[in-house]
Chains A and B, each alone.
Chain A
Amino acid sequence: DIQMTQSPSSLSASGGDSVTITCRASQSVSSYLNWYRQIPGKPPELLMYAASSLQRGFPSRFSGSGSGTDFTLTIDRLQPDDFGTYYCQQSYNTPYTFGQGTKLEIK
């Protein structure tokens, strides 16, 4: 199975800051890497697919990059609505696997 490791596990940042979340796969997943955001009490929602394609409805402040084993999700100019837990997920092969999540708090 492909293991997905995110860092950090949590972070706290202020409105207007930029933050970066990293996701590392235990073997190459090419660009079969997706990001989801989950707000407490809600289901996850797709944020970014194929490593760098932004899902409609999300602002361009969100960007993704990477290929192979190392990926990043960057959020510029943090807004209060950006809080939640962010998960990466590989869709290279089954069993599909998720990172453990990064909990983002907005100060």
Chain B
Amino acid sequence: EVQLVESGGGLVKPGGSLRLSCAASGFTFSDAWMNWVRQAPGKGLEWVGRIKAKPDGGTIDYAAPVKGRFTVSRDDSKNTLYLQMNSLKIDDTAVYYCTTEVPDNWGRFYFDLWGRGTLVTVSS
């Protein structure tokens, strides 16, 4: 079955750290561009970061609010995407989704497969 399953969410104090995982199955993970998208409670969607596939350079990009605090990485041998979150702030409280980014025939990208998400709560 083609799916993404996030894990690692939980309650953490401001300034703390957490590592999220996203286990992929049913497709060739090593060829996939992977993203993290978050959604604060009752709010809209916010892109967090993206890692390209290694054959495409493995480039990593971040949204400004998380740059320098969050790190996206991947382990293709384990078909797993990670999000290391340091120096967490209350505003980082959200459901974090991982998603695949795929191109159409003309290279226009979209988020195709989504996981169910994992909730991160930053609170003292």
Instruction: Please give the residue numbers on chain A whose beta carbons come within 8 Å of chain B beta carbons, in ascending order.
Output: 1, 30-32, 34, 36, 38, 42-46, 49-50, 53, 87, 89, 91, 94-101
Contact = CB atoms under 8 A, between A and B. Distances in A.
A98 B64 contact: no
A53 B109 CA distance: 12
A104 to B, nearest CB: 14
* Chain B interface bracket (under 10, 10 to 19, 20 to 34, 35 or more): 20 to 34
A43 B108 contact: no
Which DSSP category, helix, strand, loop or mixed, fits chain B's interface?
strand
B44 A101 contact: yes
A96 B47 contact: yes
B97 interface: yes
Contacts, number: 62
B90 interface: no
Contact of B46 (A32, A94, A98): A98
A50 B108 contact: yes
Contacts of A95: 47, 61-64
Contacts of A34: 110-111
Interface string B82-112: 0000000000000001000100101011111
